[in-house]
Chain A
Amino acid sequence: MVKLPELSLPDDPKLAQNITHFARALRKAGLPIGPGRVIDAIRAVEVAGFTKKRDFYWVLHACFVSKPEERAVFGQMFRLYWRDPQYMEKMMAMMLPAVRGVQEERTAQAAEKRAAQALLDGQLPDLPAPPDADDAVEIDIDASQTISAQERLKTLDFEQMSTAEMAAAKRMLASLRLPVSPVLSRRTMARPGDLADWRRTMRAAIRRGGEINEFATRRRRPRYPNLVVICDISGSMASYSRVILHFLHAVANREGQGWAQIHAFTFGTRLTNITRHLRKRDVDAALAAAGAEAQDWEGGTRIGECLTQFNRDWSRRVMGQGAVVLLITDGLDRDPGAGLGAAMERLALTARQLIWLNPLLRWDGFAPKAQGIVEMLPHCSSFRAGHNIEALEGLAAALSSPDDVGQKARLMAMME
């Protein structure tokens, strides 16, 4: 046990206070920051000195950020909190539904909104009090949600959700069902059907002293196909994959869903099987485990390579029983042409159904121009957006109707 020196705060008590407030705001934005870390941060600032903003930034960064995906939130928060009070007002304007239409041309950057939301909830020193429109901004997250808020939430992009919205969305997703149509297994059950059940017939006959007056029958038992999810977790895709995995996690651990088994894989630059994590722990832990080795966090993906690897190492092991495959990626391959089309084709051939969720579809002007998308599109059986709850509800429809194609037909027409 190291004996720490007496904590002497910097001369400027305002600074310590501000760091504490800042930490509180970060906590609201979803970073796991306990009081111990705050003390560490204050001590670190004391040791490092507070002369350059840049140094200050990195000192706090070192104390508060523990995962690569927290960097974006931290950066936005820092800018909001320490640099530009004017910026705050701009952000607030963005968050008011009334003004939002005017501000539409400036699309909020990722995590900006989460940062703003977290900050506005806290009481900030040295800042004008936010206007009284707070209750319009705030999303009420108890059971008495208004329909309109629910409707709004359904069409909100996952990437732009605040923490509260995300929590509400996760709750909504947890109650969403993902029905799947069963297939007939070779196993039979004792029900009226078209197969003779000799064993039961004989037993009944013995009870009647050898009289056989009807044949007991069996019929084939329905069985549910497995679901294989292949998730892109690189840079831009991370937040979508996270939500969809949350959704699938809820599905996988609910009774009576009908899926026999859910296998999940993540890929960035490497393919990882997270099935077991998904079964045991929560999604964030599973993704963290996968993310630990996806070092190349922003570096784009090698879809072709990862799909080839999947086909070679896993396809025979998880698709043996005829599985439905859910591929979640934007299709932007770092080096397309590396067998991407062939890998996708093989994947489609081994799957009962191959459904591709692509968040890029949220843009109305989306056109299949990137080479990766052009190569992959013809092979999937259904192509859908996956960027908000409404899209995931559509996914449920896709799963329950085997001939659903989503937007594939429209985009294929564009390609010709």
Chain B
Amino acid sequence: MSFADIDEVQARLGAQDYVCGRALATVVFLAQKLGRPLFLEGEAGTGKTEIAKAIAASLGRRLIRLQCYEGLDSNSAVYEWNFAEQMIAIRAAEAAGGADRDGLKSELFTEDYLIARPLLEAMRPQPGGAPVLLIDELDRTDAPFEAFLLEALSDFQVTIPELGTIRAPEPPIVILTSNRTREVHDALKRRCLYHWVDYPDFAREIEILGARAPEAAANLSREIVAFVQRLRGEDLFKKPGVAETIDWAKCLLALDVINLSPEVIADTLGAILKYQDDIQKLQGSEAKRILDEAKADLATV
């Protein structure tokens, strides 16, 4: 299954509770149509990882995720041999008393002992068509891995010395995300479609909250969103993302809050702001000021 046009992208993702703007829907559609990787960059908590899940679910394809970290190498990204099993096999062969070299080699390095890691998994045929490969937080890896990835993504094949080359029957839909803790190399960006995932505007955030926390009363969600929108305009070190908005709404629901008040905000600030400096800024009358401004915004919307 695949997307026929941009409207269908929006509709199908909407059905997965992912509210997708026109710009993002367009690059998703193009990525699938052109077979190009999609490079999503943006602040934490704006729905970059979430969209890969939504795409996979809406197309009925498998989602394969490669979580990046510093020191990630091809062993953990592509494939690894199951050494413990191999050792046991050697021991068993020795005990049986028939350990000939070539036989051993052809026996030990076969599919049975291969542990496929995400990249290799994505190159293999999957039920429901080519999988969605999510390479998450690419900026956490180092330059050598990036260079390796560049190669893997350009021809979608990996070579295992003992087994030969494995090529993807059809290229997976590749989604790379980055939080910009370092600049990713131009060469990699050049091969991808790029999209900066920004914070949503008021209307879309209301929509998102409606999809993700449907049990919140309309009045409360409007207040929450207006307050968070205002908060993003403040000079904060880390502005709250959409994920924080959703979390906060759930917190307030758990506390049976009906209306926002400065006291409630002060008690639950830890759900939206994650830096002590930022929380300090909102102490005292500051939260009340922002809340009043947010309510004034609501009156005009």
A206 x B81 contact (CB < 8 A):
no
**CA A318 to CA B183, docked complex, whole Å:** 7
B104 x A210 contact (CB < 8 A):
yes
Given the known interface contacts A210-B99, A316-B181, A320-B182, the answer about A188 and B104 at a Cβ–Cβ threshold of 8 Å is no
Given the known interface contacts A210-B90, A210-B93, A316-B180, the answer about A186 and B104 at a Cβ–Cβ threshold of 8 Å is no
- Distance in Å from the Cβ of B111 to the closest Cβ of chain A? 16
Kindly specify which of B68-76, B240-248, B288-296 makes contact with the partner chain. B68-76
**CA A320 to CA B83, docked complex, whole Å:** 35
Which residues of A in the span 301-340 have a Cβ within 8 Å of any Cβ on B? 311-312, 316-318, 320-321
**CA A186 to CA B144, docked complex, whole Å:** 12
A202 x B182 contact (CB < 8 A):
no
Q: Is A187 an interface residue (CB 8 A)?
A: yes
Cβ-defined partner of A317 (8 Å) among B73, B87, B104, B181? B181
B70 x A185 contact (CB < 8 A):
yes
CB nearest neighbor in B for A185: B71
Q: Is B196 an interface residue (CB 8 A)?
A: no
- Distance in Å from the Cβ of B87 to the closest Cβ of chain A? 8
Given the known interface contacts A206-B101, A209-B101, A210-B90, the answer about A320 and B71 at a Cβ–Cβ threshold of 8 Å is no
CB nearest neighbor in B for A187: B71
B94 x A210 contact (CB < 8 A):
yes
Q: Is B100 an interface residue (CB 8 A)?
A: yes
**CA A185 to CA B237, docked complex, whole Å:** 28
B139 x A320 contact (CB < 8 A):
yes
Q: Is B190 an interface residue (CB 8 A)?
A: no
**CA A178 to CA B23, docked complex, whole Å:** 47
B144 x A206 contact (CB < 8 A):
no
Q: Is A411 an interface residue (CB 8 A)?
A: no
Contacts between chains A and B (CB distance < 8 A), count: 63
Q: Is A106 an interface residue (CB 8 A)?
A: no
B181 contact set on A, CB distance < 8 A: 316-317, 320
A186 x B101 contact (CB < 8 A):
no
Given the known interface contacts A199-B75, A202-B108, A317-B180, the answer about A187 and B142 at a Cβ–Cβ threshold of 8 Å is yes
B182 x A205 contact (CB < 8 A):
no
**CA A223 to CA B73, docked complex, whole Å:** 15
- Distance in Å from the Cβ of B50 to the closest Cβ of chain A? 21
Q: Is B86 an interface residue (CB 8 A)?
A: yes
Cβ-defined partner of A209 (8 Å) among B80, B100, B109, B142? B100
Cβ-defined partner of B104 (8 Å) among A199, A209, A312, A320? A209
B75 x A186 contact (CB < 8 A):
no
Which residues of A in the span 30-68 have a Cβ within 8 Å of any Cβ on B? none
**CA A253 to CA B109, docked complex, whole Å:** 44
B90 contact set on A, CB distance < 8 A: 205, 210, 212
**CA A285 to CA B58, docked complex, whole Å:** 51
B87 contact set on A, CB distance < 8 A: 212
**CA A198 to CA B83, docked complex, whole Å:** 7
**CA A179 to CA B285, docked complex, whole Å:** 51
A205 contact set on B, CB distance < 8 A: 90
Interface string of B276-293 (1 = CB under 8 A from A): 000000000000000000
**CA A198 to CA B108, docked complex, whole Å:** 14
Residues of B in contact with A, size category:
20 to 34
- Distance in Å from the Cβ of B122 to the closest Cβ of chain A? 22
A206 x B71 contact (CB < 8 A):
no
**CA A188 to CA B101, docked complex, whole Å:** 30
Given the known interface contacts A199-B75, A205-B90, A320-B181, the answer about A187 and B144 at a Cβ–Cβ threshold of 8 Å is yes
Given the known interface contacts A187-B71, A187-B144, the answer about A202 and B183 at a Cβ–Cβ threshold of 8 Å is no
A321 contact set on B, CB distance < 8 A: 70, 142, 182
- Distance in Å from the Cβ of B40 to the closest Cβ of chain A? 16
CB nearest neighbor in B for A315: B237
B100 x A188 contact (CB < 8 A):
no
Residue of A188, A210, A212 ringed by the most chain B CB atoms within 10 A: A210
**CA A318 to CA B181, docked complex, whole Å:** 7
- Distance in Å from the Cβ of A8 to the closest Cβ of chain B? 55
Residue of B100, B142, B144 ringed by the most chain A CB atoms within 10 A: B142
A199 contact set on B, CB distance < 8 A: 75, 80-81, 83
**CA A198 to CA B85, docked complex, whole Å:** 12
B235 contact set on A, CB distance < 8 A: 312
Residue of A206, A317, A321 ringed by the most chain B CB atoms within 10 A: A206
A206 x B105 contact (CB < 8 A):
yes
A186 contact set on B, CB distance < 8 A: 69-71
B99 contact set on A, CB distance < 8 A: 209-210
Given the known interface contacts A187-B144, A199-B81, A206-B108, the answer about A317 and B183 at a Cβ–Cβ threshold of 8 Å is yes
B70 contact set on A, CB distance < 8 A: 185-187, 321
**CA A207 to CA B101, docked complex, whole Å:** 7
CB nearest neighbor in A for B237: A312
- Distance in Å from the Cβ of A151 to the closest Cβ of chain B? 41
A202 contact set on B, CB distance < 8 A: 81, 83, 86, 108
- Distance in Å from the Cβ of B241 to the closest Cβ of chain A? 14
CB nearest neighbor in A for B108: A206
**CA A321 to CA B140, docked complex, whole Å:** 9
**CA A199 to CA B103, docked complex, whole Å:** 19
**CA A316 to CA B100, docked complex, whole Å:** 56
**CA A312 to CA B238, docked complex, whole Å:** 8
**CA A209 to CA B93, docked complex, whole Å:** 10
**CA A311 to CA B275, docked complex, whole Å:** 14
- Distance in Å from the Cβ of A86 to the closest Cβ of chain B? 57
**CA A318 to CA B237, docked complex, whole Å:** 16
Which residues of A in the span 152-194 have a Cβ within 8 Å of any Cβ on B? 185-188
6 nearest A-B pairs in the assembled complex, by CB-CB distance: A186-B71, A320-B181, A198-B83, A210-B90, A187-B71, A320-B182
26 contacts between A and B (CB under 8 A): A185-B70, A186-B69, A186-B70, A186-B71, A187-B73, A187-B142, A188-B71, A201-B83, A202-B83, A202-B108, A209-B99, A209-B101, A209-B104, A210-B90, A210-B94, A210-B104, A212-B87, A223-B142, A316-B180, A318-B182, A318-B183, A320-B139, A320-B140, A320-B181, A321-B70, A321-B142
* Interfacial residues, chain B to chain A (CB-CB below 8 A): 69-71, 73, 75, 80-81, 83, 86-87, 90, 93-94, 99-101, 104-105, 108-109, 139-140, 142-144, 179-183, 235, 237
Taking A202-B83, A206-B105 as known contacts, 12 extra A-B pairs with beta carbons closer than 8 A to each other, sorted by chain A number, are A185-B142, A187-B144, A188-B71, A188-B73, A199-B81, A209-B101, A210-B99, A316-B179, A318-B183, A320-B181, A321-B70, A321-B182
